[in-house]
Amino acid sequence: MNWDVILPLFGFLAIVFLIGTYSSKYIRKAPDFLQEYFLGSRQLNGFILALTMVATFGSASSFIGGPGVAYNLGLGWVLLAMSQLVTGYFTLAVLGKKFAIVARKINAVTLIDFLKERYQSKWVVLLSAASIVVFLFSAMAAQWVGGGRLIESFTGLSYTASLFIFASSVLVYVVIGGFRAVAITDSLQGIVMFIGTLLLLIGTIVAGGGVSNIMTELAVENPDLVSPFGADRSLTPLFVSSFWILVGVGVIGLPQVAVRAMSYRDSRAMHKAMIVGTLVVGFIMLGMHLIGVFARVVVPGIEIGDKVMPLVALEVLPGWLAGIVLAAPMAAVMSTVDSLLLLVSSAVIKDVYVNYVKPSATQRQVKMLSISITAIIGILVFLMAIDPPDFLIWLNLFAFGGLEAAFIWPIVLGLYWKKGNAYGAFASMLIGVGSYMAIHLSVPNLFGMHTVVLPVALSLIGYVLVSLITQHKHQIEHQQIIQRFWGI
């Protein structure tokens, strides 16, 4: 056991727990339980909004997987990672005000509330809820495995015990604190991620004898490490550019990101969040992936990519500082998982149960149910993550791109295109998810682009064509929806 590393980690878990307790006070007092539990009563300020967006989006892959690949491929992978800078401002600029205003008009708490009111179709709602539950459940399980493995590697405890520590700390604050706890802990986690990146970046540059020295050594080992094409010249411009869809502008279609675009207090919060978010996401992505590249000179010969970041932290920093830095990936995993957990539970309770199973449920019943369902889902994920079944790992492959392809057009065009209707949205979701799975399984990275590109394009075509073909149907209802959404 390495106590230098473990103490900051557990200190961090303790603070997170306190935040959960603090937030649960708001839940007791809140006039509208669902608004508070799943949306923090739309009270986020700019700083918290920025950090919760960055932290939700930045997952284990930004801190563990990404630097490992950068270690092997060089600066080309940092270039690819910088396609994520755009997420700092794009989501809020595009969804931003329109989503916030509309969500208040129709009193939407979840993303699906919005889709439900906009398309007035049971099938759109059920398909959305199913996609969210299935994909995010599997994504969550994968992240929990990552969280368990992280604790396992720092503490030397067994995997199951590590997973238990991880799961119970996340569960406690999400279940008792709801969205407010998630957002506040996300901010704390975002700050830890930021500071961790800064410390490790400085430490690595110093240990490597300065940037010039590191670059020279890399170019001697293999010139392509400092080219944009990757050490094995596998990174073509087209392939790298296609990540602008997957981890750049396409992020707008991820439910966990989109729901944040209706959670803030006022337009000032949104403006501030764009500025802060861009700075923070840019710095973390640039810093963490550069660390991976620099590590090649500082700690050569690491075989397993996922070990690059922990090994370099222990190498270049004193033990207690390494502990703080290693809390960063932990924070990244937690901040992603907590949002997903809440989202899955909101899909089950708010979108399915309250909408279709028992619309007459009292506040008290809904409250009891929300808390217990959130806990039950968390426990289920924990049990799944102990020994993840193959189908879960299989599903997780589609989670990110599949959700983007499913939701991006029903959200964006639902907000900005009056002719969009339920048929178009339904077609778009089916085509998006279906073609994503088909392409991923048969010819991944078709035409040298990441798999996500074609499904996003196809689901756009599906949305527009089907909406236009069916525009004569239900004209009166459609007109009412438009009036409600666009009118005063």
Partner 1 sequence: MGDGRNHYKEDLRFKIANREALMGVFLAIFNFIWWFAFAYGLGKKPVAEYTYIFGFPAWFFYSCILGFILFSLIVFVMVKLFFLEVPFEDREEDVE
- Rounded Cα distance, 82 and 79, in Å: 5
Binding footprint of partner 1 on the chain (CB under 8 A):
75, 78-79, 82-83, 85-86, 88-90, 92-98, 100-101, 104-105, 210-215, 219, 223-224, 226-229, 237, 241, 244, 248-249, 266-268, 271, 274-275, 278-279, 282-283, 286, 416, 418, 479, 482-483, 486-488
User: Among residues 164 and 417, whose Cβ is nearest to partner 1?
Assistant: 417
| Residue 94: exposure state from Cβ atoms within 10 A (0-12, 13-18, ≥19) | middle
- Rounded Cα distance, 56 and 105, in Å: 26
Phi, psi of 120 (to 5 degrees): 45, 45
CB of 16 to partner 1, least distance (A): 29
User: Among residues 79 and 331, whose Cβ is nearest to partner 1?
Assistant: 79
Closest by CA to 248, choosing from 476, 367, 94, is 94
- Rounded to 10 degrees, the C-alpha dihedral 455/456/462/464 comes to -170
CB of 99 to partner 1, least distance (A): 9
- Rounded Cα distance, 79 and 83, in Å: 7
User: Among residues 100 and 140, whose Cβ is nearest to partner 1?
Assistant: 100
CB of 268 to partner 1, least distance (A): 6
CB of 380 to partner 1, least distance (A): 36
User: Among residues 158 and 213, whose Cβ is nearest to partner 1?
Assistant: 213
- Rounded Cα distance, 347 and 335, in Å: 19
CB of 289 to partner 1, least distance (A): 9
- Rounded Cα distance, 189 and 300, in Å: 30
Q: Which two three-digit tokens encode residue 85? A: 């800078």
Give the SS3 label for residue 81. Answer: helix
- Rounded Cα distance, 453 and 247, in Å: 11
Residue 251 DSSP symbol: G
Phi, psi of 45 (to 5 degrees): -90, 175
CB of 471 to partner 1, least distance (A): 11
CB of 215 to partner 1, least distance (A): 6
Angle at 133 between CA 165 and CA 466, to 5 degrees: 155
User: Among residues 121 and 227, whose Cβ is nearest to partner 1?
Assistant: 227
User: Among residues 105 and 307, whose Cβ is nearest to partner 1?
Assistant: 105
Q: Which two three-digit tokens encode residue 111? A: 């993303």
CB of 197 to partner 1, least distance (A): 13
User: Among residues 9 and 281, whose Cβ is nearest to partner 1?
Assistant: 281
User: Among residues 372 and 483, whose Cβ is nearest to partner 1?
Assistant: 483
Give the SS3 label for residue 410. Answer: helix
